[in-house]
Amino acid sequence: MQAFEYASPTTLQEAFALLSADDAQMLAGGTDLISLMKEYIHTPKRLVNIKSIRQLGGIGPTQGGLRIGATVTFDELASSGLVRAHYPAIHTAALGVTSPQIRNMGTVGGDLCQRPRCWYFRNGYGLLAMKDGKSLVPDGENKYHAIFGSGPAYFVSASSLAPALIALNAKVVIHSSGGSRRVAAEQFFVIPNDDQTGEIVTEVIVPDAPGARNATYEVRQKEALDWPLVTASVALQMNGAAVKEARIVLGHVAPAPRVAEEASKSLAGRRLDAAAAEKAGAAAIAGAQPLSQNRYKVQLAKVAVKRALLAAAGKEA
């Protein structure tokens, strides 16, 4: 690992000053960044630890919703009674991180901002996995890559929390030295680049949704520490036994979490039973473009949507 300076500010103002230097990067839990540094994918000259900034922590009610600080750990998130009672989609996603080490160190902000798990990127071929002007992914080892989109990016969004936050219409609060702004979670997730933005994610606001039902369903290759093959998160507004409004979001199938709009529309006004959930699952995979080794993800996504919907409705999958 390349040698680096280390700083631990206690205020956002101090952090912004320290991050203004060239080749400075933020450090929170470090569960992703440290491994990238060990592989010389990232070689910052200064690490700025933000976990000592008290205003970035904590989970609690706020006007119109729930506030989750950026440095809240997965363990804190999974242990929160507020999250468990009102936002089971988020609670399930947090529990899906089965490693005690990562759950105790990994943070909400780090999860949202982590780099792709693409093995081409992590072996030095860049975010788009290019060599000699051509992507290595379509004709290479692509079993864990995207099934939506046709390039130039084929990696999948690695965030565990993103699908649930988008389904719940959460907003991400971002601070810079010039002030703060709120961004809809759906708009926050874009194809990343290597530019230093000079901004810090400080918290997530999940709005109240009285009477709403929500759930996450993940498909993994193994129960031990592993990243999902496919995730589906759903949020439902009900009118009696019928669906008034639905929001369905797929994870680990595209470079950014994918909002399945047609699948959501297919449920409007319908009683949510197994047949309706299966139809929504089929609509969610419309337009999929699997690569040579990941066609299996199409079926997994269809099933994940069905099971997430039935779980949200309190029915057996």
Residue type, 253: V
- Series of mean pLDDT values for 10-residue runs along the chain (317 residues): 94 93 89 91 93 96 94 96 95 92 94 92 92 93 93 92 97 92 93 67 92 92 84 95 95 96 95 95 97 97 97 82
Extract the tokens encoding 103: 């759950």
Q: Does residue 119 lie in a domain region? A: no
Q: Tell me: do 41 and 168 sit in the same domain.
A: no
Q: What is the dihedral of CA 284, 112, 167, 235, to 10 degrees?
A: 110
Domain of residue 77, CATH code: 3.30.465.10
Q: Tell me: do 40 and 162 sit in the same domain.
A: no
Q: Tell me: do 203 and 105 sit in the same domain.
A: yes
Q: Does residue 125 lie in a domain region? A: no
| Residue 42 and residue 25 in contact, taking contact as beta carbons nearer than 8 Å | yes
Number of domains in the chain: 2
pLDDT value, residue 197: 63
Q: Tell me: do 40 and 62 sit in the same domain.
A: no
Q: Tell me: do 305 and 237 sit in the same domain.
A: yes
Q: Tell me: do 73 and 173 sit in the same domain.
A: yes
Which domain covers residue 14, as residue numbers? 1-49
Q: Tell me: do 176 and 41 sit in the same domain.
A: no
> From start to end of 83-160, where are the E strands?
130-131, 134-135
Q: Tell me: do 74 and 214 sit in the same domain.
A: yes
Q: Tell me: do 65 and 107 sit in the same domain.
A: yes
Q: Tell me: do 26 and 107 sit in the same domain.
A: no
pTM over 0.85: yes
Q: Does residue 224 lie in a domain region? A: yes
